[in-house]
Structure 1
């Protein structure tokens, strides 16, 4: 047998008087609705007034439950559900409080009242706005016969959407990496919520998203399922479709909690003739509309930058006084010197190699010691290891294109 509570737990004595007055004042509501079954109750719930509470505010309003059917409703199961930025200010005896899917807070209360055809009662709906409140929804009501409501909405079970007097700061996070022309490189871009409000659009499908513009000279070959091609004013294909210039990426469940950062990883094929290139990420919505709750546009955009080496340029010709060896010292060997200063251990040949020349070519941005996917890079066609003190350093250079003699 279900537990019931008297409505005195849910409202004051004055509310009882108001309920009786309403019942007497609305005899016209006694007519059954067109959908009421003969000999059945048909409960209708009034709508809650709109609100835009500040975090910390308590909302306290009554709804009217009217029986427009032809039979009495003997006891009512009344349910209230609140999205995660809202909570109940206090627990009422006789109500059961739980947290259901998607962090929704629920109160299920049994009202021990008989509502005759044409009669009405009142019951309160109370909630408070939490510090994280922003875009919220309140579900409230019963079923037409007074049993527990289902999952849809109708005249007996309603839904109120509201926007708290608060904000949330979306931030786009880009990527700065290095790669080689003709190679493949992964990039990870992110969408972050710096709060104070959590984010989930309760009123439309224009959910928060990250716009990703692929750098020129590259092709997106592997795309996250959460990222759809973007057309003129919205998504234009299924998520994960490769080869498009622009994508719009959405978080799981269209939800961003405060402090949450959602990553999206793409794999890019880099053209053989591609030079250092850039793309862009932007915090926006699925239809590329700037969210009204975001009051700080300064961090809405960020760059995707891929530094790629330029064409190789040979070393300049060594000149007198350069740090490189010259004369009869051979190809840079360190042969011993006699007291007269003559080289005694150098190998044959003339014109030693300069130790200060650069043979790796220029890079717009430093090329890291690893390339795409962590593969070690060798910038030239020859490498030598030399001991210096107790340490061992790897010197990598390209052979001079001018045809330096090796002896």
Structure 2
């Protein structure tokens, strides 16, 4: 979610369990300083641009396209000579093909930075007089491809009048579109924002939620261990987002957490650095970021000393934490760790490659049903008074 000093404008209510976890668009970066190009000064309190209210887009299909109905009002007292619109697309929305964006738009990809997932940014320059008090909208709304990994997405829209926007850090060179240019057209049928209502004289920002019909299958794997008393054996377990959707947590916590319970009669001599002990042979492990892309896999390595033989000793690996309404297959959310103790006690530890190689237990079947993520989605348009 964007970091902002202003609040949220709530246009609808969440329904069902889906609101517990959602994907969010990534923060926009500050605009580069440039001389104002409008007839009214961008620093003039009487100048301003305000985006219209935009409904969420629900039930989109992976492989299709999505359009966001953007409109804006010049709330100042003088005409503007130029307006820029920036669309920031979350991971599940692909950058458009070069033949798709108008020639007055550019696009670039922003790679993973500051713990945020990758995203695409499309910047359109409208070099046309924009009269005050009238709603304007692009003559043709842009269409963005929906990836197979799409689930909870956001298109962040920014309108500004203070100069060409800066696309952000760690971005690829901007690529111009080749389709015919699109200019804003007046919409006399639409209700304009009141004069002087702009919270900032230079820009306005809104988030448009987009939800896709998709699932994401979180899985864990366990292991089967073998060794004698006194041996130290390796244990490797793992977490996977088997897709097809990706997931990002709204609360910025780890996208997934797993708990590893060690078999009785063992002591952990070395734990994975992404895991911490909760006592009694139990460890909680996280992932690198608050988001996981489709196909993400993370392994956790431990070393266990077999202290004594306990008949039927078993441990487990399981998912814990926030609910996962997107995951319709609970059969692979918890698996076992089996320990077979062989031979007699040894005078000292050590073990070999033959004494403790862990093998992954078979996974239970893949997701068997499709969850319509669009139902009851949160309809939120967030406004902020700070720069990108």
TM-score normalized by the length of structure 1:
0.57
Report if the CA contact (8 A) 1:60-1:127 is conserved.
yes
1:54 counterpart (55, 61, 76): 61
SS of residue paired to 2:289: helix
Distance 2:308 2:103 in 1: 72
Larger radius of gyration: 1
1:158 counterpart (206, 210, 219): 206
Identify which range, 59-68 or 170-179, moves more after superposition.
Answer: 59-68
Identify if the C-alpha distance between structure 1 residues 301 and 148 changes in structure 2 by more than 3 Å, giving closer, same or farther. Answer: same
Distance 2:242 2:339 in 1: 27
Report if the CA contact (8 A) 1:218-1:269 is conserved.
yes
Matched, 1:99 2:139: no
Identify if the C-alpha distance between structure 1 residues 64 and 273 changes in structure 2 by more than 3 Å, giving closer, same or farther. Answer: same
2:125 counterpart (81, 94, 110): 110
Report if the CA contact (8 A) 1:97-1:107 is conserved.
yes
Identify if the C-alpha distance between structure 1 residues 302 and 74 changes in structure 2 by more than 3 Å, giving closer, same or farther. Answer: same
SS of residue paired to 1:298: helix
The equivalent residue for 1:240 is none
Distance 2:267 2:318 in 1: 19
Report if the CA contact (8 A) 1:180-1:372 is conserved.
no
Distance 1:110 1:197 in 2: 33
Distance 2:289 2:79 in 1: 41
Report if the CA contact (8 A) 1:170-1:192 is conserved.
yes
The equivalent residue for 2:330 is 297
The structure whose residues are more often helix, as a share, is 1
Following TM superposition, by how much is the alpha carbon of 1:292 offset from its aligned partner in structure 2, in angstroms? Answer: 0.6
Following TM superposition, by how much is the alpha carbon of 1:294 offset from its aligned partner in structure 2, in angstroms? Answer: 0.8
Matched, 1:217 2:250: no
Identify which range, 56-65 or 140-149, moves more after superposition.
Answer: 140-149
- Matched length: 270
The equivalent residue for 2:367 is none
Distance 1:73 1:220 in 2: 67
Q: How does 1:120-159 map to 2 (within 5 A)?
A: 120-123=135-138, 124-143=141-160, 145=162, 147-148=164-165, 156-159=204-207
Q: Deviations over 1:317-346 (max 9, x none)?
A: xxxxxxxxxxxxxxxxxxxxxxxxxxxxxx
Matched, 1:283 2:323: no
Distance 1:142 1:244 in 2: 55
